[in-house]
Amino acid sequence: MKRIGIIAKQNKPEAVNITGQLVEWLQSRGIDVYIEEGLGEAVRATTKGPWLSGIKKEEIPNHAEMIIVLGGDGTLLSVARLMGKHEVPILGVNLGGLGFLTEITLEELYRVLERVIRGEYVTDERVVLTVGVIRRGEKLTEFTVLNDAVINKGALARIIDIETTINGDYLTTFKSDGLIISTPTGSTAYNLSAGGPIVYPSLHCIIITPICSHTLTNRPIMVPDDVEIGVILKSKQQEVLLTLDGQQGFVLEFGDTVEVKKAEGRILLIKSPYRHYFEVLREKLKWGER
């Protein structure tokens, strides 16, 4: 592996310092480093030796054989949206708190990198969803999500009606505070907080979880990831927002249809050679502790 990109949480001083050290370490091994423009400016003063000019963040997947993400799950989610059809492995390094996606610790970073550079690594394939908004027959916008798409009412709004179909077949009309459509990767995010199941991340499915359903028999349901989910907002005069991975938002209107289906691309996350998924679950969710 000779071309590596680095993307970090720029407002975190620790991430900037680690990036500078990482650039020196990689360049000393003859590796070309691609770094986003803003981050490059932040660390240039602390880095010795050869230096590469920063490039636009969205261009890094075009050049790198692997991308190192320094931050938390939020930083990695923002990188996932850049990938498109570029199936470039991502090495997520956790510099935050609770992190299911960035499972590599800072202490093991360089040990893992040594193995990755030699080609000794395994990746997890993660499903990605495309989410489109249709209004009066016209597609207004489309998003890519790794975790979830959430339809949620405003703070002062009443319960909303959300008509849901699977491949055009009517499922039900949820009367609830909202609806979460989640990938297995996102099952440990908002889905988990709303009472949805934890799903092994490599399974090929989509989870539909109502938020505080008015009907107690409305329960989360898992469907295959090769279906198209249609969601129609049936409530008038309500403040309703579509949120993507908790980082992007779009205001919905009465009659809008949200279409959700599996994207063509996929995300490849490099697994830690020192722990498995169930160990991460136990650690993050504090299972077994009193």
Residues labelled as active-site residues? 73
Tokens of 282: 């136990």
Kindly state the greatest CA–CA separation across the chain: 64
Classify strands 90-94 and 66-71 as parallel, antiparallel or unpaired. parallel
Q: For residues 258 and 151, give the distance between their C-alpha atoms in angstroms, rounded to a whole number.
A: 9
Q: For residues 108 and 29, give the distance between their C-alpha atoms in angstroms, rounded to a whole number.
A: 18
Q: Is residue 91 packed enough to be buried (19+ CB in 10 Å), middle (13-18) or exposed (0-12)?
A: buried
What phi and psi values does residue 46 have, to the nearest 5 degrees?
-100, -5
- Using only the alpha carbons of the chain, give its radius of gyration: 20
Of residues 198, 210, 130, the one with CA closest to residue 172: 210
